[in-house]
Structure 1
Amino acid sequence: MLSKEQNDLLTKTNADTPMGKLFRRYWIPAMISDELPKPDCPPVKIKLLGEELLAFRDTEGKVGLIDEFCPHRKVSLYFGRNEECGIRCVYHGWKFDVNGECVDMPSEPPSSNFKHKVQIKSYPCRERGGVIWTYMGPEEEMPELPELEWNLVPDNHRYMTRKIQYNNYFQAIEGGLDSSHISFLHRGAGGQGFMGLKKTAASKVSNYLTGDTAPKFEVEKMDYGMLVGAKRHAEKGSLYWRITQFLMPWYTMIPPYEDSPRGAHAWVPMDDEHVYTWNINWNPTRPLTDHELEILKSGRGIHMELIPGTLRAKQNKENDYLIDRELQASGKSFTGIHGIQAQDSAVQETQGAIVDRTTERLGSSDAAIIAARRMMLKAAQDLEKGITPPALDPSSHHVRSASVVLPEGVPFQVGAKEVLTFTDEDYIRDEGAQNVAAANQDKI
């Protein structure tokens, strides 16, 4: 358990908090690029780390992320006109560009130079891999863009969505690190979703997960975060390992099954009680098939169907995630809730907006969660002392998760070594795929 002071430090992310200052040292996945589909399209409201912001794509295709409210009379610029390389307030016509500079002030006399004295808060944005990234920290400390594998592959190798989840970011991270819940929460219909696996292979993996519901955890601290191995009994003399990657400050990678699409999450705080849940699937070696995309969009896996025009899931707390009690009673689904992400949302949101960790009782299967808490708290406290946060170097992001069967006695770090990393050459020199330099050209 944590003390109240530790829990507050872990969960509060506004600009004046230690964790908020830590998060502002990283590039933040703010939006999917397609949410701003073309120049001069309607702007989009977005809330990040407690700040109410507005994103827009200008006439030249550049993305701006600015304070939502006009500094004149604090009217929301969401209702503004996106035109001629700027967003214009409909109240008095003040206009701001992607850098937050006031470029027109028609309500003032032509002789006035007042517009040159007005600046609105803005954050730099770049695009890579279908994502609009923003940096909210000190300009002089800006790192290079992340090089997570899903952000480097060609567009047709990747499918991603994001939604609003109604809880603090960290209980979502804890769910992503908790390999033991796979044996229960995701058991049965709509559960593991062994996409692309032959029936016999899927049955074998399912038997590993349900046959040994008390995995033993091994956690190794890495320069980018943590490597988490959860081992279960497999055939005689062997162990089944689910190996999860945790990359600071909010990324987890889901252990894949053979050639099925890989999976990852990012949990980006909107504020202390809401989080943007990013769900990503990709295949590093080939485009996703139509069949795979059909399954990914069906809600069976880590993506959820949204209420049109919103980032809110159709299955939500108000409708009990559309739980089917008959299905649950039948034994075909442990929860009676359709889809992995809906199941995760149900347990994370119903913990409350912010979990009271002062009263919890943790067991041995919570080793990764305990280690992640310590790591996050230490990183925030270290930054207060002037120590540089971990995982800012993009080269440290070149890692993969894995699921493997290894002989007993073989350390997972050794037995799975070849499948836990990738190199620049996998993308830069692969003639059958777009490379980092061309396909993922940064747009500033």
Structure 2
Amino acid sequence: MLKAEQNEAITRVGPGTPMGEVMRRYWQPALLAQEVAEPDSPPVRVQLLGESLVAFRDSRGEVGLIDSKCPHRRAPMFFGRNEEAGLRCVYHGWKFDTAGNCVDLPSEPPDSPLKAKINMTAYPTHEAAGVVWAYLGPRAEMPEAPDYEWMRAFKGGGGVSRTNERANWLQALEGGIDTTHSSFAHNNDLSTTSLLRQQDTHPKLEVEVTDYGFRYASIRRISENRRYIRVYQFVMPFQQIRPATVAWDGQPNDMPTMHGHLWAPMDDYTTAVYNFMAPTDLDIPLSREDFERSESRAGRGPEHFIGETYWLQRNASNDYLIDREVQRTQTYTGIEGINTQDFALQEGMDPICDRSREHLGTSDRAIIAARRLLLDAIEDVQAGRPLRGTDRQITSQIRPAEAILTEEDGDWRDYFKGELVARW
């Protein structure tokens, strides 16, 4: 468990907080690119790291991320007119470009020196793999924009989606890197992965700390001489990459993929979960339809959201539409959709989980490692040291792996030595 003051330090992300200062040294997924699909399209609200912002794509196709309030009288920029390479506040016509510079001041005399002095908060953005990334930290410490292998593998198909969760980012992340819970909360069907996980419900976890975070192996014994080993990558501060490459008989899947999540804090109590899937083998392309089917099976297809939002229809207000008869006779949860099952449990821990009251076991090794790295990162920022996961030359060269091994195959570290290196 964590002490109460440690829990407070690593869960709060607003400006000036210890973890907020850590988060601001990394590129953050701010929104999906499709939310600002066209030049001069309507602006959209963005909540990120406790800051209220507005995103817009200007006439040149560049995406701006600026303060949600006009610096004149603090009117909302969400209602602004996106026109001629800038966003114009409709209260008095003040107009700002993507860098936050005031480019028109029609309510003041033409010779007013005020325009040269006025600007608003604006953050650098980078568009890649269907995501608009933003950097909210000190410009002098800004790392290169992300270039994970799954982003490059999008040339072979796949996709990225988003779901909003009413829980602190850390309990959402910890749910994602907890491989053991899938044997219970997600015992939904007789799919390959579900069968493999149900063969051994108390996997052995082995964690190796790296320059980018850590990698961890989930080792499940499925027979006297066979082990199902899945190696995940955890990239600081909030990303997991995992594989889906083997079938029950140990042969390759027809459509091998890498997929995972980024848990971007909107504020202390809500999280934007970005879900991605890309092909592991570019010779076996992944269609958009394949990705959309996968999202629907997970319970986060378009049909599962409230209107045009990223909030699920099944939520705490309706107890996630739990079916107690299904729970009694078929599944552990009685809740439909893997994504929804996770949200029911994570959101039910309270907006910020009290980790001082936990009792952890051997299956929690990855969670313990993540917490240790996050606490270390706070100390690194305060001491001015480089942070794990900010070197693109390192983070761009990793991938996950899995296989069914016999005892003769030896240690997983040796077996996967070449498989854990990016190919694309």
Normalising to structure 2: TM-score of the pair?
0.93
Partner of 1:97: 97
> Quick check: 251-260 or 159-168, which moved more?
251-260
SS for the counterpart of 2:244 is coil
Q: Identify if the C-alpha distance between structure 1 residues 54 and 155 changes in structure 2 by more than 3 Å, giving closer, same or farther.
A: farther
Q: CA separation in 1, counterparts of 2:289 and 2:137?
A: 41
Q: Distance in 2 between matches of 1:28 and 1:393?
A: 15
Which residue of the partner structure matches residue 274 of structure 1? 270
CA distance in 2, matches of 1:268, 1:318: 23
Give yes or no for the alignment of 1:180 onto 2:180: yes
Specify the alignment match of 1:298 in structure 2: 296
Alignment of 1:44 onto 2:40: no
Which structure 2 residues correspond to residues 198-237 of structure 1 after superposition, within 5 A? 202=192, 205-237=193-225
Q: 5+ residue gaps in structure 1? A: 195-201, 427-444
- Contact 1:40–1:83 at 8 Å: present in 2 too? yes
**TM-score normalised according to structure 1 size:** 0.89
**Residue 41 of structure 1: how far off its partner (Å):** 0.3
Label 1:291 to 1:79 Cα distance change in 2 as closer, same or farther (>3 A).
closer
AA aligned opposite 2:308: G
Q: Deviations over 1:213-233 (max 9, x none)?
A: 111111110111011111111
Separation in 1, partners of 2:274, 2:292: 19
Contact 2:188 2:194 in 1 (8 A): no
What is the letter of the counterpart of residue 255 of structure 1? P
Cross-structure match for 2:320: 321
Paired residue type of 2:413: Q
Equivalent residue of 1:271, what SS?
coil
Give the distance between the partners of 1:377 and 1:320, measured in 2 at CA: 34
Structure 1 stretches of 4+ with a deviation exceeding 4 A read 301-304
Q: How many equivalent pairs are there? A: 411
Is residue 224–residue 390 contact of structure 1 (8 Å, CA) maintained in 2? yes
SS of the equivalent of 1:358 reads helix
The CA deviation at 1:156 is 5.7
Alpha-carbon deviation of 1:302?
A: 6.5
Cα distance, 1:414 vs structure 2? 1.3
Written as runs of structure 1 = structure 2, the 5 A alignment for 1:19-418 is 19-154=19-154, 157-189=157-189, 194=191, 202=192, 205-258=193-246, 259-284=255-280, 285=282, 286-289=284-287, 292-300=290-298, 305-331=304-330, 333-397=331-395, 398-408=397-407, 410-418=410-418
For residues 307 and 80 of structure 1, the distance between their equivalents in structure 2, rounded to whole angstroms, comes to 25
Equivalent residue letter for 1:33: A
Percentage of pairs with the same residue: 43
Secondary structure of the residue aligned to 2:159 is strand
Paired residues of 1:279 and 1:302 also in contact (CA < 8 A): no
Partner SS, residue 143 of structure 1: coil
Q: Distance in 2 between matches of 1:263 and 1:301?
A: 16
Three-state SS of the structure 2 residue aligned to 1:376 is helix
Equivalent position amino acid for 1:388 in 2:
P
Alpha-carbon spacing, 1:412–1:251, altered in 2? closer, same or farther (3 Å) = same
Taking the aligned partners of 2:80 and 2:121, their CA distance within structure 1 comes to 16
Mapped partners of 2:42, 2:285: distance in 1: 31
Alpha-carbon deviations, 1:160-180, whole Å to 9, x = none?
A: 111211111011111111111
* One-letter identity of the residue aligned with 2:59: T
* Superposed displacement of residue 273, structure 1: 0.7
1:336, distance to aligned residue in structure 2 (A): 1.6
Query: How much has 1:208 moved relative to structure 2?
Result: 3.1
CA drift of 1:411 comes to 2.0
Distance in 1 of aligned mates of 2:123 and 2:60: 18
**Helix, strand or coil: the match of 1:418?**
coil
Q: Which residue does 2:250 correspond to in 1?
A: none
C-alpha displacement of 1:346: 1.1
